[in-house]
Amino acid sequence: MHAVSAPRFLIDWSVPDGSRIDETAKRFNLDLCFEACGVRVFVSPGYAIRINGNRGVFLGTLFERNGPPEPLVELDEDQQNVVAAKGAPAVLTSYWGAYCALLREGTGFALMRDPSGGLPAYYTSTPGSCVIGSDPEIIAETGYWTPAVSWDDLAAHMYARGLPKSVTPLRGLSELLPGTACCICDSSMRIEAIWSPWDHAQPETASDISGSSEILRRTIQNVVSSWSSRYPSILIGVSGGLDSSIIAASISARRARVTGVTLVTNDPDGDERLFTRLLSEGIGIEILDVRYDPADIDLGISCVRHLARPIGRSHALAYDRAMHRIARERGVDAFFSGNGGDNVFYYTQSANPIADRLLADGPGIGVLHTWRDVCRLTGCTPIEAAGATIGSVRSRGRGYQWSSDSRFLDAGLVVDLAKNRVSHPWLADDRARLPGKAAHIAALLRIQSGLEGYDRRLPPMINPLMSQPVLETCLAVPTWKWVEGGRDRALARSAFSHILPQGILERRTKGGPDGFANQIIAMHRIEILDRLTSGYLARRKIIDCDEIASALSDDKPTMGTDQARLLSLVDTEAWVAHWSHWQSSSSVSNGDVGIHFRSHST
């Protein structure tokens, strides 16, 4: 297996038996990079930048906002002094990357996580001590925390459709969410928000799209160039859609060897080779096409068993294993993806952009233009668009209403879960006055849990479109600019109009592995029914076995959205089994570690 792996770290504060931490750090090849005031920090070699005088340390990958497109290896004395004196605000305005920063705060230390969430951070604590790590496994290996499923939190997670929360479905393990910081030398582990998307979401009223598209293109190219400078060999999942094509076209061939991969299903909707060939010819990179293989499916293995939350679907295991094999054969240093493109570029089929422009600019020719754009984009009539706009305007001031998902959950459980509103500080912000911008920010939350999805023994997964500079640039764009001309993600299309092939720029359809997912259900219908109706979720009365049996008794070739939900439940069942019988990494084979990609980034 290729030697490159994603960075890991381990932090302990006043843990009674430090030898267990030492042993774990040694087992995972972590270096001691910082020690002060009872706090010790261990990290993978090459992923630490110290602030002299025991004032702190950066973990992960750090870039300078206005510096060259390459990772920092150190901060000069002036930079260190500014960070030490001003803390998180100075870090957020001067740097970006995938990092956590431990900074002195009074007599203790605070750990901040960057807004992109590129480097995960989890913690467990007791009064007077804590352990923080890059992933659940490394914390469990210390023996300081023993994995166990929290059934109430698992049910809430399944109901809330992946809304990010600090609490995880693993009892006693919490996540430090992106854009937050915690005081680790405090028995309460006080959490503070240090970054909010609303600070960057003040829409302009200018109608000129050219200036905004140029800024967006330069920002994305700089971010991708910065990331690709670190990795000599890159494997990128492509679909011939807009988002992954933008990333592939922005990687400099002078800096890295790039290979694209597209997974192909037997049905036409999942065969996107027409578009990937356009991309390959247009930008000059090799793109492999690989068929989804049903033999790669094992319903007893969760494709996200290494994560603190079950966010996978069983059919994704075939995608993961295919990518893993290619990475191993090609000696890949990093996986790149277009994950988050629909989210940052505000892909929408709603009337929210009309409502936003009406509320921001008032009645006028601009609103009529956006009205026309939405009708062209969605195919709705002007009357339908007007009715939807009225509904959006009326919803302003109430914050974004996150939709829950009760399908196949026990009816009594749903009644209990519905008593507590599903929410998040970003959704309830007083500045959430424009319904479209609130939906844009909700979309950023929706992708967060899917960005961590790789086992940290594999090469790192890089999601450039979720980097802080891209996030902030896109948040500043009014929602109506994303639908200008009746095109979804219009500003991104305009930004790369002279770089991407015309066939990709004009593409309006989205492919996907739904046909393969339906094939898996058809092949394993009896096993799926058995696993779900006699498994952990059924015994804990989280799922409705009768409803599941009824859905699986129907022999129709496609199941619509129920297909995704059922495969999510199957993967959740396997995730529960994994953590209920967790074993030390020393007993796990590295030859088939879990790795999760979004199957198609369009």
pLDDT range class, residue 585, cuts 50, 70, 90: low
Q: Give the H/E segment covering residue 584.
A: none
- Residue 287 confidence (pLDDT) above 50: yes
The answer to whether 175 touches 119, Cβ cutoff 8 Å, is no
The answer to whether 163 touches 424, Cβ cutoff 8 Å, is yes
What's the mean per-residue pLDDT of the chain? Answer: 92
Q: Is 570 exposed, middle or buried (0-12, 13-18, 19+ CB in 10 A)?
A: buried
Residue pLDDT, tens place only, 297-310: 999 999 999 999 99
pLDDT value at residue 557 = 63
CA nearest to 106, candidates 2, 174, 28, 184: 184
- Residue 594 confidence (pLDDT) above 80: no
pLDDT value at residue 30 = 98
Q: Is 271 left (phi over 0), alpha (psi -120 to 50) or beta?
A: beta
Class of domain 9-195: alpha beta
Output phi, psi for 600, to 5 deg. -145, 125
In whole angstroms, give the CA distance from residue 367 to residue 361: 8
Q: Look at strands 95-105 and 174-175 and give their pairing.
A: unpaired
Give the residue extent of every domain in the chain.
9-195, 349-445
**Stretch 483-498: mean pLDDT:** 96
Q: Residues 359, 365, 368, CA angle at the centre, nearest 5°? A: 75
pLDDT range class, residue 600, cuts 50, 70, 90: very low
Q: Is 504 exposed, middle or buried (0-12, 13-18, 19+ CB in 10 A)?
A: buried
In whole angstroms, give the CA distance from residue 196 to residue 180: 9
**Stretch 233-237: mean pLDDT:** 96
pLDDT range class, residue 387, cuts 50, 70, 90: very high
pLDDT range class, residue 107, cuts 50, 70, 90: confident
pLDDT value at residue 508 = 85
Residue pLDDT, tens place only, 498-552: 999 999 999 988 888 999 999 999 999 999 999 999 999 999 999 999 999 999 9
Residue pLDDT, tens place only, 414-453: 999 999 888 899 998 888 899 999 999 999 999 998 898 6
**Stretch 467-490: mean pLDDT:** 97
pLDDT value at residue 588 = 47
- Residue 602 confidence (pLDDT) above 50: no
Q: Look at strands 31-36 and 39-43 and give their pairing.
A: antiparallel
